[in-house]
Chain A
Amino acid sequence: MKKNLFLLFAFVAIAFVACSDSDDAPSFVPPASGVNMTELCQKDGVLYGFLSEYDANWNQTIVHSSYNTATGAVAKPWLADEVSSPYKLFAAGDYICITTSDYVNDGDVNLFTTDGRLLTSFTAGVGPRRGVVVGNDMYVLCEGLWGYNNAVLTKYNLNDHTVVRDCFMQQNGVGLGDTANDICVYGSKMYIAVSTDNIIWVTDKEARVIEKIETAAQPRYLASAGGKVYATYYNGNVARIDTTACAVEATVAVGRNPEQLCVADNKLFVANSGGLDYPNYDKTVSVIDIPSFTEVKKIEVAANPANILTGDNGFVYLVSLGNYADVPNTLQCINPYTFEVTNLTESK
């Protein structure tokens, strides 16, 4: 029955795509088979993610899967067992990077090609979360351990493989702070959200501080569009930062404990996790109209949405984390024009 429902969804989705007549309108191709992943990232129209499964003893087995949003091809597993204690996954430059962390010791960043070949790895700091490539350097943001003020920004040179641990400290003589969460590059600047310290650092591309924005709440994730940078606040808001003034100029209320956000069709899509309200998680994605900076819609999705990104086809892909026990992860696709939600995960 559930499988039939899924096929029906898939059919409706295909029908929708088939009906759209404009050539440059984005097309949605459902995965060839049900796909489930977390720690979503995208490169060249292909989504990559971890697929976590827990056994009865809560030992974790992780395989890495991919889903080509253009062709619908699903590869599973993409990699297996090459990285122990995998933590985060991100695409940066030509690489798919898998970081490792046991939360207390320094973690590594492993650089893979898109076809799953391990190229190299280096040690970054405690909890490497996300990396960005600027010229020949990859900056890796490490969150550190809560309460230890040991978030670091580590610089890795992709040509000569040199590693500068905590280049932020080296450039500025002060630390990033406690629990860094996200980094983005936009225009000539980098933006670093440091959660527990309520700070968004604005730096140049050498990590020299231009501005320290003290935020009214814990900043979590960042996105950029139209000359502005947007940040989710864990207290249920999204802030708009003017990139010239380097200051928060407006905020808008969204759902509970928002995590990632992305931009599609001149709108912001914000994953409202409600993560602090276990077991009563939030199950909405807020849609914010960018020109008016107002919430225009709350889309109902699977419980505890967290990872969200805009595919190269213009559609929004979303991972909800469930309750880490009997409610599993779910991958969903949101049509940014109709707000229609398609479930891409095969129900068990």
Chain B
Amino acid sequence: MQRFFGAVALCAICMWLCGAHICRAQQVDTLSSVRNLAEIEVVGDAVDIVLSSATPVQEVRSGDIERFGYTTAADALKRMAGVQVQDYGGIGGLKTVSVRGLGAKHTAVSYDGVAVSDAYSGQIDIGRYALDNVELLSLTVGQGNDIFRPARSFASAGLLEIKSRRPLATRTAAKVRGGSFGLLGAVLLRERIFGRHWSYSAHLNVQRADGDYPFTLVNGSQSSRQHRADGDTKSIAAEGNLFGSFGSRGNVQMKVAYYDSERGLPGSVRLYNKENSERLWDNNFYVQATGEVALSAKWRARAVAKYNYLFSRYKQVNKNYSAGYQADANTQNEYYASVGALYTPGGGFSFSLTSDLSFATVKNNFLAGREPQRINSQTVLAASYEKGSVTATASLLGTLLADDAGGSSKTDNKKRLSPAVSLAWQPFGNVPLRLRASYKDIFRTPTLADLYYQRMGNVELKPERATQYNVGATYGGSLGSRASVALSIDGYYNRVKDKIVALPTMYIWRMQNYGRVYVKGVDATLSVTCSPARNVELIADATYSYSHTVDKTNRNSKNYGHQIPYTPRHAANGSLTLNNKWINISYLVTFVGERYMLPQNITENRLPAYTEHTVSLNREFALRGNRLLRLQGELLNFTDKSYEIIGYYPMPGRQWRLTACITF
């Protein structure tokens, strides 16, 4: 608590210091920012990567974030095809993302090109990533077209990339947000361009919420209206970025980030007992730097470095413990570096070799033995060919993983080669139809908690393997002069082997490699944009996913051949946006079919299908002195639908949110 306010004060002072400096700079010359604009490297592809990628890519850009009023990465990911966001409800509730029935730990998250990692739990809470300063959010399934990236980006089945906005001009923005259930937040942003090549941005995001939303609890034939208690949350995130852009010669980016939060964990709703007292404190600090340089016309090199500090504390107050409570404290330190080179000899070929090395230590009062350490070395050799109508990539990732917790809990080093290939082909000349096919064999390593958690951990664990196959087609083009369309359809087949699960022995649970899951599915996306009149734009998006994700572990088990928990057969999203000069309106609808909360597909375990509707309105006002005011309002779940994504973790009903942002 004290630390929280200490951090707020510290950041406020920092902001004030930068602000003072910036204001002075701003008075000097407003033209310089315009002139500097020309120096900024324009990031973006000639052809939309969503259509040209040899593996499925889905993107949400800042424009989408604004028109739908998304506040966290979880909001945006929920609307994507083939994606399951496991949401434990409320603003502070944990949100994890899993792709195509593979389990959350198969999706990596990278922030500005550097992977976010948690060697202890392997769990990344995507609800933490605010979108106020995000330019692009993209989700790639399998291995994407870009071969020149850190080896870690090759090391997962799915990759969520979050890119923060690069300053395009010197500006300051202040944003306040309020909403249902005690939501209050403020965002301060300062961006500045200085010199011919340099810019920086500083960003502060403070948020709090009570999270005490009403919900309906159904108990047999009775139903009652109740309030979710202990769902309060407060957080502060601060970030500073320094960008150097030297055109085709190279670029550098440095980031310092701090995050601190405290939240109540309301737990699952019980029918009779409302008592619950669990809290979680998270603290994260990291610095990262990436630099890329052109050595010659054919050679480029890149280096990445990161230091990451993670601390979390969990406390449960309960008289069952002789101390009156249980507290877990977990501290992690990670050092990470990556170096790579790209060789482009011509003829459409490129080759890259990248090597990553990381060293992580964990201190946790619930780990057996000494403090575990993990050394992970990943090297990837990749090639791509891109000419005319064909794009092809191939990569081979080598992983060497060494864990050590000292004493008797010694684990074997793990070595593995993971290949991936992909091909995209535009068969009919200028017709914007592309066919694609890809394959990737990948695994997720057991986390340090899987290996060493007291009593439960198992040092014998092997990695959990996932094999992915995808075939698909994309089409993108204009429909007459006033409209354009983009659509994609992909069919896939995934196999998961040696699944890492907690299995009960007689009295205690143990982590084991047990389980096999086969996934067959189809993801389809459609987007149409048209402008029926001057100053009027209509955008329609739709996605549909079919997923047959079944357990094939043990023929004698009662859930053999059953759809795995929390994986709907059918899910769909739709949205409609009308942009005009008076007010921009967006409507979003999400449908998730029935699911099961436990492995056995029986009535008792069924969670019903739900449909959620949201509407978002926004308008920009130009004020005097080049100031811009943007007002945005959302009404979420406006039909007040009662539903659950995770069993007995009710989601909020109707909620509103209002945001005002002033930019100058």
Contacts and interface: CB of A to CB of B under 8 A. Distances in A.
A197 B458 contact: no
A89 to B, nearest CB: 11
A148 B559 CA distance: 17
B561 to A, nearest CB: 13
Given A149-B270, A175-B219, A324 B507 contact: yes
A60 interface: yes
B221 interface: yes
Given A148-B647, A175-B220, A218-B320, A52 B271 contact: no
B2 interface: no
A324 B221 CA distance: 42
Given A57-B460, A149-B648, A104 B507 contact: no
Interface string B596-609: 01111010110000
Contacts of A235: 319-320
A101 B507 CA distance: 12
A97 to B, nearest CB: 17
Interface in B253-305: 267-273, 275
A43 B268 CA distance: 40
A163 B503 CA distance: 28
A197 B455 contact: no
A174 B458 contact: no
A78 interface: no
A38 B559 contact: no
Contacts of B604: 150
Nearest to A176: B271
Contacts of B648: 147-149
Contacts of A175: 219-220, 271
A251 B219 CA distance: 30
- Which interface residue of B271, B321, B503, B558 has the most chain A CB atoms within 10 A? B271
Contacts of B320: 217-218, 234-235, 257, 276
B535 interface: no
Contacts of B273: 177-178, 196-199
B600 A197 contact: no
Contact of A106 (B267, B458, B505, B600): B600
Interface string B455-494: 1001010000000000000000000000000000000000
A178 B270 contact: yes
B247 interface: no
A256 interface: yes
Contacts of B598: 104-105, 126, 145, 148, 150
A58 B559 contact: no
Contacts of B455: 278, 324-325
B248 interface: no
Interface string A216-237: 0110000000000000001110
Given A54-B505, A105-B557, A174-B219, A148 B271 contact: no
A103 B504 contact: yes
Given A148-B648, A174-B221, A102 B557 contact: yes
Given A148-B647, A196-B273, A38 B506 contact: yes
A1 B507 CA distance: 31
Q: Is the contact region of chain A dominated by helix, strand, or loop, or is it mixed?
A: loop
B322 interface: yes
Size category of the B interface is 35 or more
A84 interface: yes
B639 interface: no
A173 interface: yes
Interface residues of A, number: 49
A321 interface: yes
A314 to B, nearest CB: 29
Nearest to A101: B504
B393 to A, nearest CB: 40
B47 interface: no
B557 A196 contact: no
Contacts of B556: 84
Contacts of B326: 276
B270 A197 contact: yes
B558 A196 contact: no
A200 to B, nearest CB: 11
A175 B222 CA distance: 10
Contacts of A247: none
Interface string A74-117: 00000000001000000000000000011111100000000000
B504 to A, nearest CB: 5
A101 B505 CA distance: 10
B319 A52 contact: no
Nearest to B321: A276
A197 B268 CA distance: 12
Interface in B310-344: 319-322, 326
Nearest to A256: B322
Contacts of B600: 104-106
Interface in B547-564: 556-559
A277 interface: yes
Contacts of A277: 321-322
A283 B509 CA distance: 23
B506 A60 contact: yes
B454 interface: yes
Nearest to B512: A58
Given A105-B559, A149-B648, A173-B220, A178 B271 contact: yes
Contacts of A246: none
B508 interface: yes
Contact of A148 (B268, B504, B507, B512): B268
A169 B220 contact: yes
B177 interface: no
A177 B221 contact: no
A198 B275 contact: yes
A121 to B, nearest CB: 13
B507 A321 contact: yes
A260 to B, nearest CB: 14
Nearest to B556: A84
Contacts of A324: 455, 505, 507-508
Contacts of A276: 320-322, 326
Nearest to A39: B506
B165 interface: no
Chain A CB within 10 Å, residue with most, of B268, B320, B503, B509? B320
Interface in A152-188: 169, 172-175, 177-178
A106 B506 contact: no
Interface string A314-348: 00000001001100000000000000000000000
Contacts of A325: 455
A58 B558 contact: no
Contacts of A52: 506
Nearest to B503: A102
A126 B256 CA distance: 49
Contacts of A278: 454-455
Most buried by A among B222, B319, B508, B647: B319
The 6 lowest CB-CB distance pairs between A and B, nearest first, are A173-B221, A147-B268, A235-B319, A197-B272, A105-B558, A197-B273
Given A58-B510, A174-B221, A196-B273, 14 more contacts: A58-B512, A101-B504, A104-B599, A126-B598, A147-B267, A147-B647, A148-B268, A150-B598, A174-B222, A178-B273, A236-B319, A276-B321, A321-B507, A324-B455
7 contacts: A105-B558, A105-B600, A148-B647, A150-B598, A173-B222, A217-B319, A324-B507
Interface of A: 38, 50, 52, 54, 57-58, 60, 62, 84, 101-106, 126, 145, 147-150, 169, 172-175, 177-178, 194, 196-199, 212, 214, 217-218, 234-236, 256-257, 274, 276-278, 321, 324-325
